[in-house]
Amino acid sequence: MWAICMNEFKGHFKSVKSIIVIAIIFGISYLLADFMTSVADQLDLGGSKDGFAIGTLMIVFGLGFLFIAGLSHDLMNREISSRTMRFLVTKTTRTKILLGKYLGVWFFWFFCITVSYLLVTFVSKEFLWLGVVDCMLFLSVALALNLIFSLLMPKPSVSMFFGIVFALVFPALSFWAIYADSIYTNWFKYLTPYYYSTLGSYYILINLVYAVLLFFVAREIFKRRDL
């Protein structure tokens, strides 16, 4: 499992797309944090340092699904379509393969988010650990959903197209459901990780439960998948 995890983790750093995404995350995080120092008084941030991390938050909540779809849309179907998955299942269990793949990408994003907040720390003079937790719990749900899509879509090209469309539509529907006062869309907010992140406090832990449930759904799909 850990060999698969490390292979996936290292593989994400070898892609040109990954390097571009990392540069965007680090650049926006630091530049906006630096910008916040000049407008902190006007915005009346008070004792709160969360405003300095607005760049990272914008990327995670605005573009997180899109970046994940672009980098990891073929997390499972790449191995299935190339038949290498048949070799892997002879060496370990399907659950360990799935968990190794998931953790490999999770650690990649943990690295990106942690370094982003470290860059913010140079400006804010404080490491906003709660922001890291919130971002990673949110991304855990996004990664679990991407894992399911990669199992359901037989070809990487199909999962990439669907992932990008989903990444554009899902956030819009989520914010509409959260902020629109409509009985027809209000129920949808309980299905989106955005809602629990906007609630803050201990509610963000619901995203952890959400991600675990989605992983078990992915595991059941993978168990029944013909390789």
Mean pLDDT, residues 190-215 taken together: 94
Instruction: Quote the pLDDT of residue 200.
Output: 84
Mean pLDDT, residues 163-171 taken together: 94
Instruction: Quote the pLDDT of residue 47.
Output: 45
Report d(CA 201, CA 185) in Å as an integer.
Answer: 24
pLDDT in tens, 74-129: 889 888 887 888 888 888 888 999 999 999 999 999 999 999 888 888 877 778 88
Instruction: Quote the pLDDT of residue 89.
Output: 82
Number of domains within the chain: 1
**Contact present, 175 and 194 (Cβ < 8 Å):** yes
Q: Which two tokens stand for residue 146?
A: 């991407």
Instruction: Quote the pLDDT of residue 36.
Output: 67
* Residue 52 pLDDT level (bands cut at 50, 70, 90): low
* Domain enclosing residue 155, as ranges: 2-223
Q: Which two tokens stand for residue 41?
A: 């008084």
Q: Which two tokens stand for residue 17?
A: 């797309």
> To 5 degrees, how large is the angle CA 11–CA 155–CA 93?
60
Mean pLDDT, residues 161-180 taken together: 92
* Residue 48 pLDDT level (bands cut at 50, 70, 90): very low
Q: Select from 181, 180, 174, 170 the least CA-distant residue to 198.
A: 174
Q: Is the pLDDT reported for residue 40 higher than 80?
A: no
Q: Is the pLDDT reported for residue 182 higher than 60?
A: yes
Q: Is the pLDDT reported for residue 17 higher than 90?
A: no
The model's pTM: 0.89
Report d(CA 22, CA 122) in Å as an integer.
Answer: 18
